[in-house]
Structure 1
């Protein structure tokens, strides 16, 4: 990994680079203007302000609490305006457009269907509306010259008792754009093992799943997610750093769990800005991603919630570049890590790596060397 900033890796170069996103919440990425307009259209009256700029700032400030529980409270407003099919189609379409405009060529966007059923929609209608929205967004992105492929992950809320139901829906719709399953929500008090029946069902049906673990809670949640539940990826997983000791000489010693995660190449869906907001990391410069990358864990770079963190994939890479001196070769490494870890069939993953990602970085590197 690079040790000094590369002056050619400015924000515009980062935006042009092909990127892959594995951890992004649909209800955490709305445009502020869309929140205001949907609130008016649906009669939602609980927004703290209807001024678009002020609302964007409010979401970022409210999420910047240092607590995962407080951070999650901001979603009452985004979910509140996403209770109709039209709203879900619009939000999903705009999500695909926004990610594609930021240079994302493949994304997995997650959401909990149960959170959008308060207005009377069935879970099936929620899923079908979101899929229709992403299909429309993909069409718009392709027409704009920024093609993107989007898969969805269906989340079960760990504090509720619907994981089995959501897992069955993930299997039922896996040929209709649903790439896999996840559990989300507050970690403390709700270990992943509460949902063992759902994970057993997914494994029996050869379905993909990731688990939010190691964000607000420590190594125990990571261990349970992997060893008891069989998670293929770790949503966040940032607390794996607690099983790594760095000596006075700078040498790192991995504990048994950290060594297992690295040896098995279990992907970490790291979300730097979000981790700082929720208190999982003190700052970007002190984020464990620096050490985990140096130690060659399967690190991926993600947004989590673009509205609440006021971020994009490109801005996350820009912040990491400033903090750790990453260059184009490092960005390509992170991106290929993510593409290798996607819940997409092998042939399509390989095709994106060989025909989109590697040529895209090669072109940018050539421009940098001749510029």
Structure 2
């Protein structure tokens, strides 16, 4: 499989890492530093595949690069195991923020599932408090070093479990303590968002926003359920919405032709679900490298060049670019931008539009969202 990290320098005359970025889809338990995992594992007596940071990082990458979402998710057994204490959660959250800021991220929504961090006796409220303590410490550390970043928690329920209502209530309970949105994650295929229909209704009644993992391991039925049952304002990944788009190629005389033939015209037809998602600006939280690794884009081709994100972007979908799990995929948001530049010849205007899409699709209050958009626009304008 092609390595999703592009080694060649982008054909741009500015530093991609310095660009202000917005991260909407980044899992807390997927972004740990290998050295931290090793230290925390030793403290709690958890056995790892390796106690060498370089070798451990490579193990995570190889395991995630299998093309199977199931095997990809197995890597989280080790990260979650070391996130079961207040100290462990706070440290991971603090370092997570510092690493985002180092990558140029100025606003990040950090998703994680509190129900997975109760093995050492902590309560749901205690783990949320511990993570928020770490996030606050991370923001303070970034500011002390001369940087700036704003973050929030996306409280996530595991879709194969039966704690959706409880986790929804937890999220609302912490809405003034860092929680800014709700999500469901985990094994998508066979576990429709409709399982949590009552929880999503509760969230809507309390005016609390939701993004829903859909359109990654499952297709249109999952996306439709996310929209209807989940009242999703964004789709986590959402890449398989492209399965509801038909492209027919005709030559100059109107005859059917192959897509690689000369002088062809592509006629695009959006299905009802795709049309709804595009026309209402429902954000797609696309994670290019992760989508390649987990097989989410297998129906479109094997290489990153076959990822439908460019088609979706050109058709006017609200595409945002994200990392998903930086440790497992071995990427940063800068790497993902480099990948787009290298693969699809994106330029500064494209990267700005994708970043603004993310800023405008954030769960920030309107005044803070407008300030973020203004900051990003000013930073890009100053590049010239």
Q: Same fold (TM over 0.5)?
A: yes
Number of residue-to-residue matches in the alignment: 357
Match of 2:157 in 1: 156
Task: Judge conservation of contact 1:88–1:126 (CA < 8 Å) in 2.
Answer: yes
Deviation at 1:216, TM superposition (A): 0.5
Deviation at 1:323, TM superposition (A): 0.4
Deviation at 1:302, TM superposition (A): 0.3
- Cα displacement string for residues 179-208 of structure 1 (whole angstroms, at most 9, x for unaligned residues): 110000001111110000100000000001
Q: TM-score, normalised by structure 2?
A: 0.91
Match of 1:25 in 2: 27
Deviation at 1:267, TM superposition (A): 0.3
Match of 1:41 in 2: 43
Match of 1:335 in 2: 355
- Cα displacement string for residues 255-312 of structure 1 (whole angstroms, at most 9, x for unaligned residues): 1111110001000000000000100123321111110111110000000000000000
Match of 1:357 in 2: 376
SS at match of 2:364: coil
Task: Judge conservation of contact 1:284–1:320 (CA < 8 Å) in 2.
Answer: no
Match of 2:239 in 1: 238
Deviation at 1:120, TM superposition (A): 0.8
Q: Kindly indicate whether structure 1 or structure 2 has the higher relative contact order, using CA contacts under 8 Å at least 6 residues apart.
A: 1
Work out whether 1:261 is the aligned partner of 2:277.
yes
Alignment RMSD: 1.1
Deviation at 1:212, TM superposition (A): 0.3
Task: Judge conservation of contact 1:103–1:146 (CA < 8 Å) in 2.
Answer: no
Match of 1:311 in 2: 331
Indicate the structure (1 or 2) with the bigger Cα radius of gyration: 2
Q: TM-score, normalised by structure 1?
A: 0.95
Match of 1:369 in 2: none
Work out whether 1:277 is the aligned partner of 2:293.
yes
Q: Distance in 2 between matches of 1:77 and 1:150?
A: 25
More helix by share: 1
Matches within 5 A, 1:132-143: 132-143=133-144
Match of 1:177 in 2: 178
Structure 1's consecutive aligned runs of 4 or more residues displaced over 6 angstroms after TM superposition are none
| Structure 1 residue ranges without an equivalent (≥5) | 367-371
Work out whether 1:346 is the aligned partner of 2:347.
no
- Flag the 1:36–1:239 CA change in 2: closer, same or farther, 3 A: same
